[in-house]
Amino acid sequence: MRQVALVTGASRGIGLAAAEALARSGFAIALNGLLDDAALRDAVRRLEAQGVPVMAAAFDVSDTTLHAEWLARIEDTLGPLTTLVNNAGVGVLRRGDLLDVTEESWDRCLSVNAKALFFLSQAFARRLVSRARPETLFHSIVNVTSSNARAVAVQRSEYCASKAAAAMVSMAFAVRLGPENIAVYDVQPGLIATDMTASVIETYRQRAANGLTLMPRVGEPADMGCIIATLASGKLPYTTGQVISADAGLLVPRF
Ligand SMILES: NC(=O)c1ccc[n+]([C@@H]2O[C@H](COP(=O)([O-])OP(=O)(O)OC[C@H]3O[C@@H](n4cnc5c(N)ncnc54)[C@H](OP(=O)(O)O)[C@@H]3O)[C@@H](O)[C@H]2O)c1
């Protein structure tokens, strides 16, 4: 019997790296992306080449009416889910003065980064708690929030607010699902080189080299994939509700 994971936002970036690392650990995987596009189909092919069962699950995570239906479809194809990786996320519509933030950008950040994460976790948890689960399989939710759950980036304040909300959702689900033996983790990436950060990553590379992070480099999606797969595989037993600061020491207090 193998573990089965749904990874949201897995067509590229951190989500794709997480899916690849989970596939290396033997998981069957449903790869979610917003669109059933070439990137998602390519991601499915890359994982199939690793010899694990894979399917595409293209849907908008912020449309909560789709959650239950998609989880059922995934289980019909891959078997009972053990793992949810809530990774799909969006940045702000425009970086800039907090005094100019629009409701549109606020609503989009909160909807995808926090509300979708809450209700997809709820739909996933409802399925798991309603059935007997083999004790030999590790069950978990791994949420990808951000260093910005704790640290203000004032030019992206609505993003920070959405990630702080997601971090609290992680803790709340950890409390609710602990008695069910379902672990919940909050991975908080720092500066990772993906499409989301492409316009600013060279600046951050310089700043990392100059001491912004304790280890002098920006992160790669594969770093995050390794952390997520380690957690989801149950390699940190007897833990739940933890924040993993995946940031090379960015937020270690110092002066
Ligand atoms: N990169 C960083 O430095 C960094 C730092 C801290 C936290 N994070 C967090 O890490 C997560 C992944 O970020 P990333 O850098 O890998 O981003 P990315 O390269 O921009 O990829 C985002 C992924 O999310 C998907 N997505 C976006 N909106 C969606 C929706 N409504 N429904 C379903 N899928 C959706 C995208 O799908 P499509 O390709 O179909 O659009 C894509 O697969 C995000 O939650 C982000 O906030 C990133």
Q: Is 8 in the pocket of ligand 1 (CB under 6 A)?
A: yes
Order across the sheet with 242-246: list the strands: 54-58, 28-33, 4-7, 83-86, 139-144, 182-189, 242-246
Q: Per the domain annotation, does 208 fall within a domain?
A: no
Q: Per the domain annotation, does 217 fall within a domain?
A: no
* Ligand 1 atom with minimal separation from the 58 CA: 33
* Token pair for 138: 């590790």
110-136 pLDDT tens trace: 999 999 999 999 999 999 999 999 999
Residue range 39-49: average pLDDT?
97
Distance in angstroms (rounded) separating the CA atoms of residues 108 and 122 = 20
Q: Is 15 in the pocket of ligand 1 (CB under 6 A)?
A: yes
What CATH number has the domain bearing residue 226? 3.40.50.720
What's the chain's average pLDDT?
98
Q: Per the domain annotation, does 120 fall within a domain?
A: yes
Closest protein CA for atom 36 of ligand 1: 9
Q: Is 219 in the pocket of ligand 1 (CB under 6 A)?
A: no
Report which of 103, 111, 221, 117 is spatially closest to residue 172, judged by C-alpha positions: 117
Rounded (10°) CA dihedral 49, 234, 221, 242 = 160
pLDDT at 146: 99
76-116 pLDDT tens trace: 999 999 999 999 999 999 999 999 999 999 999 999 999 99
Residue range 225-249: average pLDDT?
98
pLDDT at 14: 98
pLDDT at 24: 97
Q: What percent of the chain stands above pLDDT 90?
A: 100
Q: How many domains does the chain have?
A: 1
pLDDT at 29: 98
Distance in angstroms (rounded) separating the CA atoms of residues 196 and 242 = 25
pLDDT at 167: 99
pLDDT band at 165 (very low <50, low <70, confident <90, very high): very high
**Are 166 and 147 contacting, i.e. CB atoms less than 8 angstroms apart?**
no
Ligand 1 mean position, distance from CA 195 (Å): 8
Domain that holds residue 37: 4-92+115-150+164-191+222-246
pLDDT at 166: 99
135-157 pLDDT tens trace: 999 999 999 999 999 999 999 99
> DSSP per residue over 107-165, as a string?
HHHIIIIIIHHHHHHHHHHHHHHTS---TTS-EEEEEE--GGGTS--GGGHHHHHHHHH
pLDDT at 159: 98
Ligand 1 mean position, distance from CA 164 (Å): 16
Instruction: Report the helix count and the strand count for the chain, using DSSP H and E.
Output: 8, 7
pLDDT at 111: 99
Closest protein CA for atom 40 of ligand 1: 34
Ligand 1 mean position, distance from CA 146 (Å): 11
Query: How far is CA 89 from each of CA 85, 127, 222, rounded to the nearest angstrom?
Result: 12, 24, 17
Q: Is 35 in the pocket of ligand 1 (CB under 6 A)?
A: yes
Report which of 169, 166, 175 is spatially closest to residue 146, judged by C-alpha positions: 166
Q: Per the domain annotation, does 252 fall within a domain?
A: no
Q: Per the domain annotation, does 254 fall within a domain?
A: no
| 215: exposed, middle or buried (Cβ count in 10 Å: 0-12, 13-18, 19+) | exposed
Residue range 159-181: average pLDDT?
99
pLDDT at 234: 98
